[in-house]
Homo-oligomer: A and B are copies of this chain.
Amino acid sequence: MTKNTRMTKQRKAILRVLKNTESHPTADWIYEQVKKEIPNISLGTVYRNLNVLSELGKIQILDYGSTYSRYDGNPKNHYHFRCEKCGRVYDIHIDLFDDINKIVNEKTAFQVNEHRLEFTGLCPICQNEN
C-alpha cells in the first residue's frame, strides 16, 4: 500500500518546479525546466512522477479524467456529472448559476465569457452496486 515513496532528486525537482509556478504547465514545459538542473532526465520520468505525485495527492492533473473526448448534442451551456466509478457523463437538470460570471468579473481582472461546471461523485447506478 505504501509504495512509491522514495523522494528521488528527480521527483523532488519536478514537485518543486510545479509548486513554484503560477501557471498550470504541460508536462513538456516541466521537463524543460527540470532539465536545466538535471540535464539527462527523460520525459518518461516526468510523466511517471507527475502521475505518482497526483496519486499521492500532492498535485492535480487538469484533464477530463480520460483521454477520450466526449461529445454533447446540446450546444447550450449546462452542467455535467461524471461518475468516479463507471465514467459515465450525465446532464444535470438545474438552472445555471448565472451570477457567478459577474462575481468573477467584479473581483478579478479576467474578462469572463463563460463558465463550465462539472460535478463528480457516484451515479445512481453505481450507488446501488455495493
List the interface of chain A (C-beta within 8 A of B): 15, 18-28, 30, 50, 54, 57-64, 68-75, 80-81, 84, 88-94, 97, 100-101, 103-104, 107-124, 127
Contacts and interface: CB of A to CB of B under 8 A. Distances in A.
Nearest to A108: B92
Contacts of A121: 110-114
Contacts of A104: 81, 92, 94, 119
Contact of A62 (B59, B61, B69): B69
Contact of A22 (B24, B90, B94, B113): B90
B118 A116 contact: yes
Contacts of A58: 75
Given A23-B89, A26-B69, A109 B80 contact: no
